Amino acid sequence: MRTYFLAAFLSLLLFSSCLEKFDFERPDSIKDAIAIQGSITKSNPSYVNVTLKEVFDFANFPKFLSASEVLIIDEAGNQLELETRRQGFYYLTILDDHPFFKVETGKKYKIRVSGLRNKIFESNWEELLPVPIPEKLRTDNVSTEVTDRFGIVRVFNELGYFIDTPLKAPNATQNSRLLWELEGLFKLTDTPSVGKCFDGEAPAPKACYIRDSPIQNYVTFDGTKSSADRLDNYLVEAINFTGNLAEGYYITILQQSLTESAYDYWSQVATAVNRTGDLFQQPTGLVSNNLQNIEDPSESVFGYFYATEERPIRLYIEPQGQATCPIVSQNGVVAEFCCDCRRIGSPVKPDWWVE
């Protein structure tokens, strides 16, 4: 049995699983401003996702906001209302056989948010562009040199994700601007018989599958500035070796296409999120946006709405290192998720999980 400082592990786990790409746009000088982040994604099935929150600084947790209505609108004037998942989160799945609302490349879309602080906000039109189909994903060990804020160069051994992909979408005449989003899923087997997890006979151990978001997951590439028509063995991202790899790990890279304005936005966000020094080196509130209060365009609104097609590519990473559970604190308390892994994950294995 191994003993760890439980609080440190849980802090890292919760931070990695709860990180959202919307939390890094915080102007220092503007309080109580609104941040609206959203997208319509052509996928299988297609979906719309919108998040509403109040801009905040690092002294506070985000405050999510509610609206009376959130609409997705196409260029023909067709519109659908999004459903509320919980405060501040709006979502809608759109099937291919929807009777009148079609999510198609070449069409333009926008969102309208009504009743948010008794105001109406609307995005600019965004065109949905086709995306190149990624061909291969592989991993390899990489060494990364990082200069910290004190000027000391540190070397990290990390796991790199490399992709092969054309830069042109099928039937396209020019290269695409790409956004890569990383999603992880790892396997964890609990240890209910260890310590005092249960009064009486403990159930048999079980495996759960737990979502993991790599911290540095904002990666853009402007294919329009490349003389080549494809990328081969291109390093998308490198992550630290962690206990999440101990029982098997699936990395999914979602390859998306962006308009020029959407690319400008996400490349600025990537600069803010992936900086290696002080997060406030560059005022993150200066990130461009395409949303406005239609009754008062002078009001500062942060965030972005974009339209994209999405192509996923997955890779299974073999187990590396020791199993995470059991985790026992110095006073003998077993981590709750090691008693029952359903506290942080699902025992249902995804259909695509193949070891």
Mean pLDDT of 125-149: 93
Q: How many CB atoms lie within 10 A of CB 288?
A: 13
**Which range has the worst mean pLDDT, 148-152, 172-176, 216-220?**
216-220
pLDDT greater at residue 133 or residue 216: 133
350 found inside a domain: no
Kindly state the percentage of the chain with pLDDT values over 90: 63
Digit-coded pLDDT (tens) for 213-229: 755 557 899 999 999 99
353 found inside a domain: no
Q: Which of helix, strand or coil describes residue 227? A: coil
251 found inside a domain: yes
Question: What pLDDT score does 290 carry?
Answer: 94
Total-model pTM: 0.81
Average pLDDT, the chain: 85
Say how far apart CA 253 and CA 241 lie, in whole Å. 18
Token output for 279: 């997060």
Say how far apart CA 137 and CA 314 lie, in whole Å. 7
91 found inside a domain: yes
Q: How many residues does the chain have?
A: 355
352 found inside a domain: no
267 found inside a domain: yes
Domain count, the chain: 1
Q: Where in the sequence is the domain holding 145, given as residue range(s)?
A: 6-343
348 found inside a domain: no
86 found inside a domain: yes
